[in-house]
Amino acid sequence: MNMKKLLAALFIVAILAVAAVIIFRQKISPSKNSQNSSKILVTSTIYPLSQLATHTGGDLITSKTIVPSGVEPHDFDPKPQDLVDVFESKVFIHSGTALEPWVEKIRADLESRGVVMVDASKGLNLIKGNDGVDPHYWLDPVLFQQSAITVRNALLAADPSRSSDYKLNSDKFIAKLIELDNAYKKKLFSCNQDTVVVSHNVLAYLANRYKFKVRSITGLSPNEEATSQSIADTVELLKTNNIRFVLAESLMPSKYADTLAKEAAVKTLLFNPLEGLTKEEVQQNADYFSVQYFNINTLATALECLKS
């Protein structure tokens, strides 16, 4: 008899809780309801890919990035509302690498919902190493032009009513990428050092393109623990080549760079591999290009390039 009363009470509490959550919910997911019915929603997994969307779509689209800045994409597990955003979008851009393991798991669902999945690495020859495919291709302004074209085509197909606008924006975007490529070439033309030392290996594509060498303490994943052998070898290299600078990534703790700095009298410089923006960069309204120009300066300093 008392059991039944307790059960009934629990039941009622459960229903009330559900009701409360539904009411509450109206206030916490504005994005869905306030979606302007004429603008299409484009979701991207990580920041650099959403830059493709923003620079091509501008104000004509609503763009959302799923993995927040500062979160390691490799470890990111989408929350329910994150998936809701992706499910509700018309175009979904992902890197096409192992950086976002959750993407493959929802492919079947997305396809049945008619969400267009865009692989930003389509048509690109990605660098393969011991650790797997290097995902940092967005740092290479030449490769990124191909990604820009892929995204442009997707937007044209998804929202043909605005094709002329998208084409215009895309052309401007690609022009800026060409400009960026020239800036890299110029700044890194004549340098005293040929090797950059960096915490984890984000520089392979830039090194390929602009002809310098990279020594990284760990591999592709910043979660790896560096072996003491690796650190020792790096210290050796720093001393032998008289390298004065070591690069740390802006959103990651710089413990290895700091270790090296103590061992070999080097200074730490910040490099942003563009997986996200720092708080300062967000406040400064930074974007792909402003960060890249910052990166050029960092590399020029590290490689002790002559001012031109």
Q: Are 263 and 151 within 8 A, CB to CB?
A: no
Does 6 interact with other proteins (rule: CB under 8 A)?
yes
* CA 260/CA 197 separation, integer angstroms: 10
- State the DSSP code for 227: P
Q: What are phi and psi of 120, to 5 degrees?
A: -65, -10
First to last CA, the chain: 89
| Residue whose pair of structure tokens reads 């890299």 in the numeric block | 184
Cβ proximity to other proteins: between 87 and 293 the closer is 87
Cβ proximity to other proteins: between 86 and 148 the closer is 86
- State the DSSP code for 78: -
Restricting to residues 287-306, name those near other proteins by CB under 8 A: none
Does 280 interact with other proteins (rule: CB under 8 A)?
no
Q: What is the largest CA-CA distance in the chain?
A: 89
* CA 102/CA 30 separation, integer angstroms: 25
Give me the count of residues in the chain.
Answer: 308
Restricting to residues 52-111, name those near other proteins by CB under 8 A: 74-75, 77-84, 87, 98, 101-102, 105-106, 108-109
* SS3 state of residue 126: coil
Does 11 interact with other proteins (rule: CB under 8 A)?
yes
Restricting to residues 254-273, name those near other proteins by CB under 8 A: none
Restricting to residues 25-54, name those near other proteins by CB under 8 A: 25, 28-29
* CA 169/CA 72 separation, integer angstroms: 30
Q: Of the candidates 181, 224, 258, 263, which one interacts with other proteins according to CB under 8 A?
A: 224
The residue range among 59-67, 126-134, 154-162, 205-213 that interacts with other proteins, by the rule CB under 8 A, is: 126-134
Partnered with residue 246 across adjacent β-strands are: 268
Does 1 interact with other proteins (rule: CB under 8 A)?
no
Does 157 interact with other proteins (rule: CB under 8 A)?
no
Shortest spacing between CB 16 and other proteins, in angstroms: 10
Shortest spacing between CB 110 and other proteins, in angstroms: 10
Does 220 interact with other proteins (rule: CB under 8 A)?
yes
**Number of chain residues interacting with other proteins (CB under 8 A):** 43
* CA 123/CA 153 separation, integer angstroms: 13
**Nearest to 184, CA basis, from 76, 70, 300:** 300
The residue range among 17-25, 135-143, 172-180, 186-194 that interacts with other proteins, by the rule CB under 8 A, is: 17-25
Partnered with residue 100 across adjacent β-strands are: none
Shortest spacing between CB 112 and other proteins, in angstroms: 8
Q: Of the candidates 119, 131, 258, 287, which one interacts with other proteins according to CB under 8 A?
A: 131
* Bridge-based pairing state of the strands 195-200 and 132-133: unpaired
Cβ proximity to other proteins: between 72 and 181 the closer is 72
Q: Of the candidates 112, 125, 240, 283, which one interacts with other proteins according to CB under 8 A?
A: 112
Partnered with residue 197 across adjacent β-strands are: 215
Show the tokens assigned to 3. 């059991």
Binding site for other proteins (CB under 8 A): 2-3, 6-7, 10-11, 14-15, 17-18, 21-22, 24-25, 28-29, 74-75, 77-84, 87, 98, 101-102, 105-106, 108-109, 112, 130-132, 219-221, 224-225
